[in-house]
Amino acid sequence: MGTREPLREREILRYRKRPRIVHAMLASSFLILLFTGLVILWPALSGLAAGGFTRWLHRVAAVIFMAVPFVYWFADREGAKELMIDSFKYDRDDWRWLKRFWSYAFGHTANMPRQGRLNAGQKMHHALVMLLSASIVFSGLIMWFFMPSLGPTLQAWVVVIHDLSMLALTLLLVGHLYFTFVYRALSGMTRGYIDADDARLEHAKWVEELEAEAAAEAAEETTEKV
């Protein structure tokens, strides 16, 4: 791990610069894909698809979208590893947390089981995003390269799978934005810092870890000085 920036008084560093850039890449390519896909799905917007410009844009964005995991791996290997490991490790508090998910969804955190850097909902979100992204990339590549040889029925199936994956991802996006708003998390992805009180409520175990680390570092410094 690189050097950790010191904890500010009321703010905690949530995401460093590189993961933030990777996230921006994912978010922007996803939104372009959503919009350029929507012009085909939604008849009212269909005029925009004419001429094939949106298809070209869709494919450019698709390449960026598919590059995200590789870019993440090269730009921030430790962070990517940590995210993968954290996302698929559930402890007992996580399962208890999931059982009471609705309470969290309605804005109550104080009495929720204590959570680490990622809460159980975020872990679920990550797993679903990965699964659905795989499905959408797979079906999308088939449509891109093998469409003419599929035959009508298979073609319709691939299109339906592609669309349903995107529908699910879009619904996850709505939830993602919802929790970002409710729990004031946007600054974590823009500036990198979040309010320490929000963090303490939602990620108590993580904040404790950070505080313990900070205390240990402080103690080390004191001993060095002595």
Partner 1 sequence: MAEYAFLLDLGRCIGCQACVASCKVGNELGEGQQYIELIEKTHGEFPNLSGGWDNHRCFHCADAACVTVCPTGALFKEDGLTRLDRSVCSGCAYCTEACPYEVPVMWEGKSSKCDGCAATVSAGGNPWCVKTCPSNALAYGPREEIQAEAHRRADAMRDRYPNAEVYGETQLDGLGMLVVMPDDPELLDIPIDPKTPFMADVWQKVVQPGAVVLTLGAAVLAGVGGVIARRRHEEELVVLEVERVIDEADEADVAKEEEG
Chain residues in the site for partner 1 (CB under 8 A): 39-43, 46-47, 49-52, 54-55, 105-110, 147-148, 150-153, 155-157, 159-160, 163-164, 166-167, 170-171, 174-175, 177-178, 181-184, 197-198, 200-201
Give residues with Cβ within 8 angstroms of 69, minimum separation 6.
80
Strands in the chain per DSSP E: 11-13, 193-195
Of residues 26 and 166, the one with the C-beta less far from partner 1: 166
C-alpha distances in Å from residue 14, one per residue of 61, 188, 195, 212, 224 = 27, 5, 9, 16, 29
Of residues 2 and 107, the one with the C-beta less far from partner 1: 107
C-alpha distances in Å from residue 221, one per residue of 194, 213, 216 = 26, 12, 9
User: Is residue 215 packed enough to be buried (19+ CB in 10 Å), middle (13-18) or exposed (0-12)?
Assistant: exposed
Of residues 44 and 226, the one with the C-beta less far from partner 1: 44
Supply the minimum distance, in Å, between the C-beta of residue 80 and partner 1: 29
Give residues with Cβ within 8 angstroms of 107, minimum separation 6.
182
Cα distance between residue 29 and residue 182, in whole Å: 24
Supply the minimum distance, in Å, between the C-beta of residue 71 and partner 1: 28
Supply the minimum distance, in Å, between the C-beta of residue 187 and partner 1: 14
Of residues 87 and 155, the one with the C-beta less far from partner 1: 155
Of residues 91 and 135, the one with the C-beta less far from partner 1: 135
Q: Quick check: helix, strand or coil at residue 58?
A: helix
Supply the minimum distance, in Å, between the C-beta of residue 185 and partner 1: 11
Supply the minimum distance, in Å, between the C-beta of residue 139 and partner 1: 13
Backbone angles phi, psi at 159, to 5 degrees: -60, -45
Bridge partners of 173?
none
Of residues 105 and 218, the one with the C-beta less far from partner 1: 105
Supply the minimum distance, in Å, between the C-beta of residue 147 and partner 1: 6
